[in-house]
């Protein structure tokens, strides 16, 4: 490596952290997960089953509508249905995680 490149890069290298240092920083910022009670575990399982059913319902209704749109060869409607399903799925999952965080006390 030419010396002039080393002189330009060296000040930057001094302040950069290694992957190990970055991982240790992240590890130090996260606290140990709290122990969950049996009631909390049961409530989390209940939330998982409720939201799995909601996701399945959204999936089934979207599939039926997609099949109808595909039979009609309506590509725009198919794309719209896919986008709507993706946003519905994201909304359901975010709602589930928010409720689970409340149960965990986060």
Calculate mean pLDDT across residues 52-68.
94
Confidence of residue 72 (pLDDT cuts 50, 70, 90): very high
Number of residues written out for the chain: 106
Please write the tens of the pLDDT for every residue from 87-99.
Answer: 999 999 999 999 9
Is residue 76 over pLDDT 70?
Answer: yes
pLDDT number for residue 71: 93
Cβ atoms 89, 55 nearer than 8 A: yes
Calculate mean pLDDT across residues 43-68.
95
Confidence of residue 18 (pLDDT cuts 50, 70, 90): confident
DSSP string, the chain: --HHHHHHHHHHHHHPPPHHHHHHHHHHHSPPPPPPPHHHHHHHHHHHHHHHHHHHHHHHHHHHHHHHHHHTT-HHHHHHHHHHHHHHHHHHHHHHHHHHHHHHT-
């Amino acid at each position: 490596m030419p010396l002039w490149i080393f002189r330009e890069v060296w000040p930057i290298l001094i302040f950069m952290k290694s992957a190990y240092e970055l991982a240790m920083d992240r590890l130090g910022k996260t606290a140990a997960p709290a122990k969950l009670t049996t009631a909390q575990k049961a409530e989390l399982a209940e939330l998982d089953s409720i939201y799995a059913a909601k996701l399945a319902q959204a999936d089934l209704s979207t599939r039926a509508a997609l099949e109808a749109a595909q039979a009609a060869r309506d590509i725009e409607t198919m794309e719209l249905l896919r986008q709507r399903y993706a946003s519905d799925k994201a909304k359901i999952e975010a709602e589930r995680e928010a409720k689970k965080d409340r149960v965990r006390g986060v």
